[in-house]
Amino acid sequence: MSDPRVEAARRRTFAIISHPDAGKTTLTEKFLLYGGMLTTGAGAVKAKGGRRSATSDWMELEQQRGISITSTVLQFPYRDRVLNLLDTPGHRDFSEDTYRVLAATDAAIMVLDGSKGIESQTRKLFEVCRDREIPIVTFINKWDRPSRDPLELLDEIEEQLILEPVPISWPVGEGDRFRGLIDRRSGDFVRYTRTVGGASEAPEELVDHARAATEEGDLWLDAQEGIELLDVSERVFDQKRFESGELSPVFFGSALTNFGVRMILDAMVDLVPSPSPRLDRDGNPRALEKPFSGIVFKVQANMDKAHRDRIAFLRVCSGQFDRGMVVTHEPTGKPFATKYAHSVSGQERETVEQAFPGDVIGLVNATSFRVGDAVFVDEPVQWPLVPSFAPSHFRVARTLDTSKAKQFRSGISQLDEEGVVQVLREPDFGDQAPILAAVGPLQFEVVQHRLENEFGAPVELVPCSWTTARITDQASALALRGMSGVTVAHRSDGELLALFESPYWLQRLEADQPELTLTKLIAEGEG
């Protein structure tokens, strides 16, 4: 037996958050390159522009749209550590999935496009991280292209995110004349050389300041000037403030040409905290050396069409996991034999033999597992309840082929259990016309696609005029049902939800009839 504390200390579990196109996929590929996982050059993550597809795109819809809808987990070695990279969905819409993945990470890299700065999706994802107090490392990417003034970018981070940016590296040159990076901690200047297509690691040369001044001329002077300004502004790195999410170390670079990739990986090892004891429902930490326990943070069906299976993704929280181990599923109290435990990277599956705190494993055919569930060995544990999110998009689902009613029903309940959307039912319509409620509209596309392709049940999703939901009770439901512009429906977890067309009307109702129970749904961070 290995000591879980020692193994946990070797691990770093993190996600990358970014606005689409900022370079998340490219950076992921380069991480694998520097982790020694790609022997034939980068390009394994996403088939885009003729690149090789191996790890991320498994769903047809993903491929059609060229986006990554599902979350995958990549594990790779770096230095003497094990890095677990959880991939957050990269689409423009938001789904609950994103929140859940971020609930399973210890840190996040925020990738910004150096010519754009903070974009809408960056901001939203950042807010989730802030709510969870997740430490953020900032990577300002695409420095090989014309970029904005670096000091201006720092101001933007500070002003828009209320996060103190502290540059750890500072660029010498930009665009075509991007030469390298100065490490502000040591003063070292690392000069890089481009490789063809960025397919192999960029050669690095440590250049002393006198030589740099001669060889880089104005570029060097500009960089020095920038650093002096930073020193005056007293941007100083502080580990504690980083870990509490108040301060972000900033790295510059170019994922495409591999400039700065090693520095950010080093930062993941040197700055990001290793997995720590997770708090249980009563707020007590589950020590790392306790018997095995894990938390389900994602459930995914039919990842492999040939197998029609269902995988529960679980982050190990304590102890050592050994394949074949019989674990207890806390909510049902039932034993589950982990004969088929995998590490899953998109389509590629490898059997996992052992895992430790911070690692992610996929359990095949764990049919009763739901997001937030605890599994354990010997010593029971319950995790804090996973908040359900306030939906603001609604559709009524109707089957287009009445002979497929059974497939339709089982498909809807499957997607409900996976948490792809929330499913609500009105007493009068019930299973025939369930209401689907989502945080972002892309969730509906996924439902429609999967119902048709996996369950053979084509559907139409009829737009609805509701915009806001509140949790209510039976007594208030009676009163609400008599009003216009409001519908009351059951959610599958038993909650009663009142759906309103107009938020203003809801506000008035709340003011005029305070006796009605109209509880806000928990949005992440409010719980």
Taking 3-state DSSP, the helix, strand and coil percentages for the chain, each rounded to the nearest 5, stand at 30, 30, 45
Per-residue exposure over 208-219, b if at least 16 CB sit within 10 Å of its own CB, e if not: eeeebeeebeeb
Q: Please say which residue, 20 or 384, places its beta carbon nearer to ligand G4P.
A: 20
Which of the ranges 137-145, 161-169, 369-377, 454-462 carries the binding residues for ligand G4P, by CB under 6 A? Answer: 137-145
Asked if 386 interacts with ligand G4P (CB under 6 A), we say no
Contact between 24 and ligand G4P by CB under 6 A: the answer reads yes
| Least separation in angstroms between CB 445 and ligand G4P | 18
What DSSP element (H or E) covers 311? Answer: strand 310-318
- 50 vs 514, beta carbon nearer ligand G4P: 50
As measured in angstroms, the least distance from the Cβ of 172 to ligand G4P is 16
Tally Cβ neighbours within 10 Å of residue 403. 8
**Token pair 């504690």: residue:** 240
The token pair at 232 is 């005056």
* Residue 51 binds to ligand G4P (criterion: CB under 6 A): yes
Q: How far is the CB of 371 from ligand G4P (least distance, A)?
A: 25
Q: Interface residues for ligand G4P in 138-157 (CB under 6 A)?
A: 141-142, 144-145
C-beta of 54 vs 287, nearer to ligand G4P: 54
Binding to ligand G4P (CB under 6 A) within 322-351 occurs at: none
Please tell me the count of residues contacting ligand G4P according to CB under 6 A.
Answer: 19
Phi first, then psi: give them for residue 37, nearest 5 degrees: -90, -15
* 242-246-250-254 Cα dihedral, nearest 10 degrees: 100
Extended beta strands in 400-466, E state: 422-425, 435-438, 459-463
Only segment of 43-51, 160-168, 445-453, 458-466 that touches ligand G4P (CB under 6 A): 43-51
Q: How far is CA 461 from CA 155, 433, 441, in A?
A: 44, 10, 11
Positions in 84-113 near ligand G4P (CB under 6 A): 90
- Residue 202 or 447: the one with the smaller Cβ distance to ligand G4P is 202
Local structure of residue 403 (DSSP, 8 states): G
In a 10 Å sphere around its CB, with 0-12 CB exposed, 13-18 middle and 19+ buried, how is residue 508 labelled?
Answer: exposed
Q: By the 8 A CB rule, do 116 and 22 touch? A: yes
Q: How far is the CB of 348 from ligand G4P (least distance, A)?
A: 19
Residues 398-457 that bind ligand G4P (CB under 6 A): none
Any idea which residue has 């080093």 for tokens? 266
Residue of this chain nearest to ligand G4P (CB atom): 49
144 or 243, CB closer to ligand G4P? 144
Closer residue to ligand G4P, CB minimum distance, 45 or 438? 45
Residues pairing with 510 in the sheet: none
Residue 45 or 377 with smaller CB distance to ligand G4P: 45
Residue 71, interface with ligand G4P (CB under 6 A)?
no
Q: Which amino acid is at 466?
A: W
DSSP 196: G
Paired with 14 in beta bridges are: 85, 107
21 near ligand G4P, judged by CB under 6 A:
yes
Interface with ligand G4P, residue 177, by CB under 6 A: no
Considering only 125-133, 250-258, 282-290, 490-498, which stretch makes contact with ligand G4P by CB under 6 A? 250-258
Which residues contact residue 281 at a Cβ distance below 8 angstroms, ignoring those fewer than 6 apart?
A: 382, 383, 384, 385
Nearer to ligand G4P, 193 or 244 (CB): 193
Q: How far is the CB of 43 from ligand G4P (least distance, A)?
A: 8
Q: What is the DSSP letter of 434?
A: P
Least gap, CB of 21 to ligand G4P (angstroms) = 4
* Residues found near ligand G4P in the complex (CB under 6 A): 18, 20-26, 48-49, 51, 90, 141-142, 144-145, 254-256
